[in-house]
Structure 1
């Protein structure tokens, strides 16, 4: 698989929201929190195309990643792979890119995951350690490697 990234713009918001909803729908339905209007509003309220990139697998849009750069850490704000593309190692390959960036800057990488979502196991399997919990989310951090 050939993995690459493409920039996003404000014109891509609907596409990004649709990817987010498709990727999260099952997890949100499981906890009774699926609401596509709220999902859209929450995403649009904090969307910044300067931090967001489409994930391309063999030239095909397979999802997107949004990484925010803070002074003391990098925040993986969004990582979604469309359901038909899941299980191909795309998320793992994206994490490898993000780990390299965090390690080069000697910064921890932080992420939050919806409670009871499969993404919790994914992040733990890739070296993230739980740091906090809230009513709906679990927060993780991966320290930089030397």
Structure 2
């Protein structure tokens, strides 16, 4: 599946919050309760616009990913696939593309997932992410580059 990741324009991050709320509110609300002010402030202050990229398939937006380069990893903060585009392989394609990028740079690919987001957790495990650590609410997943796996 051929997908393209393109950077958000500066003004597009504010509309991304609406999608975040639509898709993540049920999960967050079930886990810890939803505090609108906290979620909006966190979203806007913690996530930089340059970390957001649209996921395009045949030129159509099917969702977005928010990820950033850290010293030893590429960390995925968020992966949203629009409801009418889910279960078609788009999330897997994005994760495979990011795994390749991390492999080329010999970096881990990391992300956190609410434990109550069972479909997402199953997908990460299917795509060879392993649980590096966990707490009451989250699984912290990691995918180690092939070159490092072979060296161990």
Q: Per residue, is there more helix in 1 or in 2?
A: 2
One fold, TM greater than 0.5?
A: yes
Measured against aligned partners, the alpha-carbon deviations of 1:59-116 in whole angstroms (never above 9, x if no partner) come to 2222111221112111111111122211111000101110110110111111001121
Q: How does 1:52-71 map to 2 (within 5 A)?
A: 52-71=52-71
1:56 and 1:37 map into 2 onto residues whose CA distance is: 30
Question: In 2, distance between residues paired with 1:6 and 1:71?
Answer: 23
Q: Report deviation, 1:37.
A: 3.5
Aligned to 2:128: 127
Gaps of 5+ in 2: 148-152
Higher Cα radius of gyration: 2
TM-score (norm 2): 0.85
Runs of 4+ in 1 over 4 A off after TM superposition: none
- Contact kept? 1:66, 1:76, Cα under 8 Å: yes
Paired position in structure 2 for 1:3: 3
Distance 1:120 1:52 in 2: 22
Query: TM-score normalised to the size of structure 1?
Result: 0.89
Aligned equivalents of 2:146, 2:61: Cα separation in 1: 30
